[in-house]
Structure 1
Amino acid sequence: MDGDELVATLEDAGLSPYQADAFVTLLELGAASATDVAQASSVPDPRIYDVLRGLEDDGYIELYEQDSLHARAHDPGEVLADLRSRASRFETAAAEIEERWNRPDIEDHKVSIVKRLDTVLTQADELIREATTQVQVGLTVEQYYELEDALAAALERGTDVKVCLFPAVDGEMDLPSTESLARTCTEARRRPIPSPFVALVDRSWTCFSPHGYSTNEYGVIVNDRTHTFVFHWYFLTSLWEVHETIYSARNDEFPVTYVDLRHCLRDVIPLLEDGVPIEATVEGIETDSGLEVTQSGTVTDATYAGVATEADHPAPLSQLAGEASITLETTDGPVTVGGWGAMLEDLEATRITINSSA
């Protein structure tokens, strides 16, 4: 670093241009009279005394009398410590700015807008790994491989994982192998056209980013049940119900577990109509208290808009949007059970297990 660069750096550290020039001059001279410092630097003669006294006050130099006012550079230890401290703060500030730009702190916000898809995928990865109940995700095959380990971790923990795969903007799509899908999801479907990335986790978190045709790249991270419920309907109607199933781990042997009441009703209603007794266990949230509870009993009634479709056929919109509930006869009396967003029923079911039927 030459003298001019050193002067400019000292100015950045808080010295005035005259102070920086005078200090660098004294470093080169070692000790000199005020007049000699002025002559060897750019500091005007009338200003030199004030400049030197300012440097002494800040600990950069010391002044002494020897026929006239003289100055010499002070032991640099204290100055160097201050400069290094400033450098450390600048480095910390730079790192913090980069972190805030890449991924805003979402701990204190319901909704965060981020600039890059990478940030959305990183957050989705973390949330999926911690999921306990259900994951619904729509993504390209490339994004699937980025989240493959996170999806596998969620499935291994017993989380219900639904995956909808769609092509990137170039329209090409080589689907993952059956072995890969078996490791990562409960069920997978294929949508033939590009779509936005979306991940819904435990009915509380949404990670969303537009598809590649979008003019601007951005993402939305939502920690709110109501907003996530709206994205859930987008997932059902656009990414799930009407598309081809390419993998399913479900079977007809009891017990059978559901995280969506409407899917459960498609299997339960025909059994009820035939008079078959159905034993069930419901994990859910009391709608009046918000407490998590588990209730077991016999399914005695069900409400479902329209006629129940078979499990492998898409449901019409009237059924998806209409009322859906079951009545569970327990040892404490009847308990009404609704699905995601239930308000009128006693419980909002998060997991329904049909234990047996005759």
Structure 2
Amino acid sequence: MDDDELTEVLEDAGLSPYQAEAYVALLGLGTASATDIADASEVPDPRIYDVLRDLESKGYIETFQQDSLTARAHDPQGVLENLRSQSSKYLDAASDIEERWNEPEMTDHEVSIVKRFDTVLKRAKELISSAEQQIQLGVDTEQFRALRSELAAAHDRGVNIKLSICTTPDDDIPDGAEIEGTCTEARHRDIPSPFLVLVDRRWTCFAPHQQSVNEYGVLVNDRTHTYLFHWFFLTCLWEIWETVYTIRTPETPTTYVDLRHAVRDLEPILGKGATVQARVQGYETETKEPVDLTGRVVDIDYTGSSMGRQEPVPLAQLAGRITLTLEADGEVYDIGGWGAVLETIEATEITITDVRYD
């Protein structure tokens, strides 16, 4: 490092330009008079005395009288500690800048682009750990194992979890014992897929699959954008693929976190004259107050519906407005699904408690 570079570093460390120049000159001279230091640096003669006193007060040098004001550099240990401290601050600042850039803070209604998949995975773990109602995810085997402990904890909390495991022909597939306790239902897609985690109808973590040329991620904190990813999950990662694990048995009540799936299954049953009892959990669309209702399903309606259908309707036909009518405690309620606006209640969970044919 030459004199100019060293001077710049000392200025960064807090010295004025004149102080830095005088100190570098004195290091080369050893012990020197004030006038010799001024000659060896670019400090004007009238300023050299003030500059040397300032350096002495900072602990860089000491001065003494010998015919004229003379100075010599102190043992540089204190200076070195100061520079190392400054260096540490710069390194900390650099690390903090990098971390903030890679992991931007998520605020309400925000979509953020990040550079590294590790950032997306870390955020997915945090969101799964705080999930309250439902999780949908499409992952490969390695990613599933990276999230397994968080998924198991969420499952233990009662969170409804739909897991799509997406593999290449060379990938191994987790067996039932490994999947058990981590999800409500799992399906296998034998085609690679982007990494996708949806949490509580609001949060999305997305990254291209590992064979993609570019590495980036998308973090979403917004119900509308997450709804679009939800339809990608339903149509590409879930609907047509084989179920490899489920907690559902003939004895357990059927629970839905998507009104469209519930209506698709209920339409043929109601068409045959069945009486269906259901529990609906969700919240009022206007006040956002939580609701928990139990009653009888008296009607379903959706764009293009035709009650009396004997076979389940394709999911794509349920993409428009859809409403379930529930009679509970002498009142009639219109129940909508994700993003309901016109209905009284947005359902987050629907449990069929009883089906009877009179």
Q: Provide the secondary structure at the position in 1 that maps to 2:268.
A: helix
Per-residue deviation at 1:181?
1.4
Bigger mean CA offset, 92-101 vs 75-84: 75-84
AA aligned to 2:245 is Y
Of 256, 259, 273, 2:254 maps to 256
Match of 1:100 in 2: 100
**Deviation at residue 351 of structure 1 after TM alignment:** 0.7
* Contact 1:166–1:173 (8 Å) recurs in 2: no
Q: Where do 1:57-96 residues align within 5 Å?
A: 57=54, 59=58, 60-61=60-61, 65-73=65-73, 83=83, 86-96=86-96
Is the CA contact (8 Å cut-off) linking 1:254 and 1:354 kept in structure 2?
Answer: no
Aligned to 2:175: 177
Q: Cα RMSD between the aligned structures?
A: 3.1
Aligned to 2:298: 300
Residues 1-358 of structure 1: pairs in structure 2 closer than 5 A: 9-15=9-15, 19-20=19-20, 22-24=22-24, 26=26, 32-37=32-37, 42-43=40-41, 47=44, 50-51=47-48, 53-57=50-54, 59=58, 60-61=60-61, 65-73=65-73, 83=83, 86-107=86-107, 110-167=110-167, 171-304=169-302, 305=305, 307=309, 309=311, 315-319=314-318, 321-358=319-356
Task: Report how far residue 266 of structure 1 moved.
Answer: 3.2
Give the deviation of 1:184 after TM superposition: 1.1
Aligned residue pair count: 349
**What TM-score does the superposition give when structure 2 sets the normalisation length?**
0.85
SS at match of 2:192: coil
Residues 248 and 29 (structure 1 numbering): CA distance in 2 closer, same or farther, change over 3 Å? Answer: same
Q: TM-score, normalised by structure 1?
A: 0.85
TM-superposed deviation, 1:161: 0.6
Name the CA distance, whole Å, in 2 between partners of 1:318 and 1:136.
Answer: 21
Letter in 1 for 2:67: D
CA–CA distance in structure 2, aligned partners of residues 257 and 283 of structure 1: 11
Cα deviation, residue 175, structure 1: 0.7
Identity rate, percent: 52
Greater CA drift, 54-63 or 243-252: 54-63
Counterpart contact for 1:52–1:71, Cα < 8 Å: no
Unaligned runs of 5+ in 2: none
SS in 1 for 2:243: strand
> Which secondary structure does the structure 1 equivalent of 2:180 belong to?
helix
| Offset of residue 274 of structure 1 | 2.9
Equivalent-residue separation in structure 2 for 1:231 and 1:221 (angstroms)? 12
Q: Judge conservation of contact 1:254–1:355 (CA < 8 Å) in 2.
A: no
**CA-CA distance at 1:237 after TM superposition:** 0.9
> Within 2, Cα distance between the matches of 1:267 and 1:145?
32
